[in-house]
């Protein structure tokens, strides 16, 4: 907890209006999109400059106050949740695009820039920022970097890490580091930039990022294909990847589709219903590419891998097909789902899913399980839905038991217990299923270098000491 004198000192570092302690703000800023923890920060501070961030970190060191960085709070692992009296450092006031260079195709952003703001800015320059996901309208760049956000275009463009050309960070001692300075080539020893990407604010706070942009895609076109079983999705992926440069390859189950259609505002892709659906996207830059896509589709039908399909013929159709996948997370959110976000190498996906599905079906025959995800990246989202009548805590306690079985399978397949949602608090007790004791010891040693007093987002990634 932060005492009154310390709070007065904090207020003097920024401006009175930029320290919030009212209950509504503490509730709003203390949580992310997880439902597991009750928010309980002692204050929220909104810095406007890099110097203010440094001053806040030094203040926190003096008073031994824990700080939790906060962006759009759309995270799914409670990495930005302040449940133990921490002070939230929210970057909403540092939301400007500072510079653009058309030759380097780079853009300098403050951490509070919203993902969609960067995407739109890129479009205005005739370029493209390719990291995209359903929460791009509210997630902030600092959070994207802190979690190395992935999303729906990773198969072609990679994760946020690929687009960070330079990073300014304030470490746990209040030091400002200017890392890589936007360079393409820089072989001067350790690339510290990459340590801060995906570190969930445990090593330093991102205060400025130089992001790369890409050429804009031409005539993006999507196909939704219905398959008779999960195993057919992989040969479909293989067939299309052999012919086209895919910009996305996603999947969802019939249960997922049923929830989307129940909304009433998204059209069905086609009349027949299938157990699984693949959504793929490519640039139909020429007529020949579209013809190749159709020929591959026909080949998949002949092989019995695909039962039905549709290809977008307009921007509106493209958008509608994407809604089938992109709306899933939000659509099922009122069922308070228990989420897992696991990955293996792509070739192992069918055997992996079969094992996990069997374990979940055996232990939770009464609960609805919805599968979807970025299958082209080997990344599956497993959502177990809470029955309306079941108490939330009892439901989470029951679902937590599934973790051990799921993660034992993940470990055996040498996969990841968190492919793109981070560790935060929800997965920290399971880190050892994906990381060796030696690795975890190195990670803790690195944390001690940048944050010797343990004030930056303690209790995230690792359990509190």
User: How much is the CA Rg of the chain, to the nearest whole Å?
Assistant: 23
Q: Which is nearer to ligand 2HG, 2 or 340 (CB)?
A: 340
Q: Is residue 374 classed as helix, strand or coil in its secondary structure?
A: strand
Between 133 and 352, CB nearer to ligand 2HG? 133
- DSSP three-state, residue 300: helix
Q: Residue 183 has which token pair?
A: 């360079």
Residues numbered 343 to 402 that lie near ligand 2HG (CB under 6 A) are 381, 383
The residue among 419, 423, 434 whose CA lies nearest residue 460 is 423
**Judged by CB under 6 A, how many residues of this single chain contact ligand 2HG?**
7
Among 18, 212, 259, 339, binds ligand 2HG (CB under 6 A): 339
Least distance (Å) from ligand 2HG to the CB of residue 305? 23
How far apart are CB 383 and ligand 2HG at their closest, in Å? 5
Nearer to ligand 2HG, 59 or 430 (CB): 430
Q: Which residues pair with 69 in a beta bridge?
A: 89
Instruction: State the Cα–Cα distance between residues 92 and 98, nearest whole angstrom.
Output: 15
The least CB distance from residue 333 to ligand 2HG, in Å, is 8
Largest Cα span, the chain: 74
Cβ closest to ligand 2HG, residue 247 vs residue 383: 383
Phi-psi region of 144 (alpha: psi -120 to 50; beta: other; left: phi over 0): alpha
Contact (Cβ atoms closer than 8 angstroms) between residue 213 and residue 125: yes
Q: Rounded to the nearest whole angstrom, what is the least distance from the CB of residue 33 to ligand 2HG in the complex?
A: 9
Q: Judge whether 183 and 108 are in contact, CB under 8 Å.
A: no
In the complex with ligand 2HG, the residue whose CB is nearer, 301 or 318, is: 318
Neighbouring residues of 129: CB distance < 8 A, sequence distance ≥ 6: 115, 118, 119, 121, 122, 163, 211, 213, 214
Asked if 259 interacts with ligand 2HG (CB under 6 A), we say: no
> Cβ of residue 199: shortest distance to ligand 2HG, in angstroms?
19
End-to-end, the C-alpha distance of the chain in Å comes to 17
Torsion angle in degrees (nearest 10) through CA of 227, 230, 235, 239: 50
Identity of the residue, 339 or 428, whose beta carbon is nearer to ligand 2HG in the bound complex? 339
Is 8 in contact with 49 (CB distance < 8 Å)? Answer: no
Least distance between ligand 2HG and beta carbon 92 (Å):
23
Question: Least distance (Å) from ligand 2HG to the CB of residue 326?
Answer: 7
Residue showing tokens 């492919």? 419
329 makes contact with ligand 2HG (CB under 6 A): yes
Q: Which of the residues 127 through 146 are near ligand 2HG (CB under 6 A)?
A: 133-134
For ligand 2HG, give the closer residue by CB, 78 or 289.
Answer: 78
**Residue 43 Cβ vs ligand 2HG, minimum distance, rounded to whole Å:** 30
**CB nearer ligand 2HG, residue 192 or residue 318:** 318
Q: By CB under 6 A, name the binding residues for ligand 2HG.
A: 133-134, 328-329, 339, 381, 383
């Amino acid at each position: 907890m932060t005492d009154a004198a310390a709070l007065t000192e904090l207020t003097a570092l920024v401006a009175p209006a930029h320290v919030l302690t009212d209950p509504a703000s503490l509730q709003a800023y203390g949580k992310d999109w997880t439902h597991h923890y009750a928010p309980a920060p002692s204050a929220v501070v909104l810095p406007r400059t890099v110097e203010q961030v440094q001053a806040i970190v030094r203040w926190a060191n003096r008073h031994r106050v824990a700080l939790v960085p906060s962006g759009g709070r759309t995270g799914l692992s409670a990495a930005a949740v302040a449940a133990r009296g921490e002070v939230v450092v929210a970057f909403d006031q540092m939301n400007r695009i500072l510079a653009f260079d058309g030759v380097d195709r780079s853009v300098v952003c403050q951490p509070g820039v919203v993902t969609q703001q960067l995407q739109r800015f890129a479009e205005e320059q005739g370029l493209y920022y390719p990291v995209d996901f359903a929460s791009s309208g509210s997630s902030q760049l600092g959070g994207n970097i802190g979690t190395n956000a992935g999303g729906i275009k990773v198969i072609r463009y990679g994760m946020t890490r690929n687009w960070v050309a330079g990073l300014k960070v304030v470490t746990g001692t209040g030091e400002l580091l200017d890392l890589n300075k936007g360079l393409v080539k820089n072989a001067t020893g350790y690339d510290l930039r990459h340590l801060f990407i995906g570190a969930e604010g445990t090593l330093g706070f991102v205060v400025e990022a130089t992001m790369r942009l890409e050429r804009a895609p031409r005539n993006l076109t999507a196909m939704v294909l219905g398959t008779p079983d999960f195993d057919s999705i992989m040969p479909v992926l293989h067939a299309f990847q052999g012919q086209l440069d895919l910009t996305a390859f996603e999947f969802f189950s019939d249960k997922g589709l049923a929830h989307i259609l129940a909304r009433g505002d998204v059209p069905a892709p086609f009349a027949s219903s299938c157990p699984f659906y693949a959504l793929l996207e490519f640039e139909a830059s020429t007529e020949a590419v579209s013809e190749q896509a159709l020929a591959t589709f026909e080949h998949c039908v002949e092989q019995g891998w695909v039962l039905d399909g549709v290809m977008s013929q307009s921007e509106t159709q493209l958008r509608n097909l994407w809604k089938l996948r992109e709306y899933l997370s939000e659509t099922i959110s009122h069922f308070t789902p228990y989420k897992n976000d696991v990955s293996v190498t792509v070739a192992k996906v069918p055997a992996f899913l079969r094992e996990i599905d069997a374990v979940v079906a055996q232990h939770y025959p009464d609960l609805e399980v919805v599968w979807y995800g970025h299958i082209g990246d080997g990344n599956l989202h497993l959502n177990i839905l809470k029955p309306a009548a079941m108490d939330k805590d009892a439901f989470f306690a029951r679902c937590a038991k599934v973790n051990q079985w799921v993660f034992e399978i993940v470990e055996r397949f040498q996969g990841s217990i968190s492919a793109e949602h981070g560790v935060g608090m929800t997965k920290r007790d399971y880190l050892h299923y994906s990381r060796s004791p030696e690795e975890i010891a190195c990670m803790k040693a690195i944390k001690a270098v940048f944050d010797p007093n343990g004030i930056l987002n303690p209790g995230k990634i690792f359990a509190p000491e």
